[in-house]
Structure 1
Amino acid sequence: MFKIMIVEDDIKIRTLLTDILRKYSYEVVEVADFLQVEKIFEQEAPQLVLLDLNLPYYDGFYYCRVFRRKTTVPIIVISARDEESSQVLSMELGADDYIVKPLNIQVLLAKIMAILRRNYGEYAGKPEPDNEPLPIHLDDRNFSISCKGAVEELSKNEYKLLKKLMDKKDTIVTREELLEELWDDVHFVVDNTLTVNVTRVKSKLANLGFQNVIKVKRGVGYIFDSAMAGGTRQ
């Protein structure tokens, strides 16, 4: 049974979500004390978080940052804010999806099931054998990339993007594949958002001494060049 934590200050919405999720056999943790959100999160260790943006004391953007510093748990933002800037910022801070109120319950349930299946179920990523290990090390415990003692921190999306490219090294990964890997509903994502994330990852690789590791295939996508990554650091 998956445990879902609801961080929503509207009692009617929170109660509705709780009743529906329990009907579908999910274990639910309701947050009612918004001074204890972080403590409850750490104690309960949910497999997914439903997070409102407009909350007492601290907003949902703050909690996106807090949760991402601690874990890779999936986060679905549920908010009445329908402006593009809030959606993009939520995903930049590590949210996996964004749903605008009023809620379509069937859509929400479908997204929850898809995210849980991808992160914990049949579609969860499994490491493949690598006959030629790269000198670059990705750490999924704290979202970082390192080489020979030098470390660069990554956002959740930067980590997922780089892992996808490294897992398929020397193979073109389309922009569509990357968008689907990073965000469940690409309709909420402006095309430039992916470009910004790639640019940040390339910059962090460069800080470790790896230039031109990620190459752009115009009109198609990106490729992780293992020859450039496996060479001597500049």
Structure 2
Amino acid sequence: MYKVMLIEDDHQLCGLIKENLERYGYEVILPQHFAHIEEEFLNIKPDLVLLDINLPYYDGYFLCRSIRQKSTVPILMISARSQEMDQILAIELGADDFITKPFTFDMLHSKVKATIRRVYGEYAVIDERNTRVGPLCLVEKTMTLEYKEAKVEVSKKVFKLLKKLMEKENSFVSREELIEEVWDSVSFVDDNTLTVNMTRIKQTLSELGLKDLIKSKRGVGYMLQYPAGE
């Protein structure tokens, strides 16, 4: 789950943005006090920052520059200011993109998703760290799933689904979040498509001698649960 720090002093807008992004599986965290944004940023360690320009204590430009001096985390600036110079200043201070108010939540989600994908996803430099759950290992470099001495190759879609499930071991992941992880859109993907790919994952695990690792709950989603003590 990607962690988004939302720095916006309009409480109503904050609530709407939080609700909208959490629907797509993001964890949205709001600052407790605008006078201590920099300290809270270091404690939260977000994957992405949504930053308004007009704020109490410090404006968004100051905070953008301050955050950029400490971190390469992607920053999306939000503002009712629509002048080109405002956008240029934001980019020059280190922002990755600029969203002008008023905006639709579809547009906001699209920009968040595109930024996450560019920085951490399929357009980013591939991180060769492997994902492990007990002796089960998902190897990014070779696109294989390994268990003890056995290994099987997996497709890109199966790889992404497995990675998400393994990262959230022992927790249910919603169908919507899994679809979003692989296909980028919930509305244009047949629900049966996910079911077919989950069946492939179960078959792949069976080939490795692992059965019943994937649990499903109607209306909730899927969970990977490796037996404790094995």
Compute the TM-score of the two structures, normalised by the length of structure 2.
0.54
Q: 5 Å matches for 1:106-117?
A: 106-117=106-117
Contact (CA 8 Å) 1:77, 1:99: kept in 2 or not? yes
Q: Aligned partners of 1:24 and 1:97: how far apart in 2? A: 20
Letter of the 2:54 partner, please give it. Answer: N
| Structure 1 residue 103 displacement after superposition | 1.5
| Greater gyration radius | 2
In the other structure, the counterpart of 1:151 is: none
Runs of 4+, deviation exceeding 4 Å: none
The one-letter code matched in structure 2 to 1:26 is: Y
Cα displacement (A) at 1:36:
1.5
> Are residue 80 (structure 1) and residue 80 (structure 2) matched?
yes
User: Which amino acid letter does the alignment assign opposite residue 26 of structure 2?
Assistant: Y
| Equivalent residues of 1:64, 1:94 under 8 A apart | yes
Which structure 1 residue ranges, 5 or more long, are not aligned?
128-234
* Structure 1 residue aligned with 2:187: none
Gaps of 5+ in 2: 128-230
SS in 1 for 2:6: strand
Secondary structure of the corresponding residue to residue 35 of structure 2 = coil
Q: Deviations over 1:142-176 (max 9, x none)?
A: xxxxxxxxxxxxxxxxxxxxxxxxxxxxxxxxxxx
Deviations 1:130-151 (A, max 9, x none): xxxxxxxxxxxxxxxxxxxxxx
Displacement of 1:126 after TM fit?
4.8
1:76–1:97 CA contact under 8 A, matched in 2? yes
Calculate percent identity across the aligned residue pairs: 49
| Other structure's SS at 1:36 match | helix
> How many residues matched?
127
Q: CA deviation at 1:32?
A: 4.0
> Deviation string for 1:60-82 (max 9, x for gaps)?
00011111101110000010011
Q: Does 1:96 align with 2:96?
A: yes
Q: Verify the 8 A CA contact 1:4 1:49 in the aligned structure 2.
A: yes
Return the alpha-carbon distance in structure 2 between the equivalents of residues 11 and 75 of structure 1: 20
Distance 1:86 1:15, change over 3 A: same
**TM-score of the two chains, using structure 1 as the length reference:** 0.53
> Which residue of the partner structure matches residue 39 of structure 2?
39
Secondary structure of the corresponding residue to residue 63 of structure 1:
helix
* TM-aligned CA deviation for residue 125 of structure 1: 2.4
Does the 8 Å CA contact 1:9/1:32 hold for their aligned counterparts? Answer: no
Whether contact under 8 Å (1:53, 1:59) holds in the other structure is yes
Please state if 1:15 is matched with 2:15: yes
Describe the SS at the equivalent of 1:35: helix
Counterpart-to-counterpart distance in 2, 1:34 and 1:40? 9
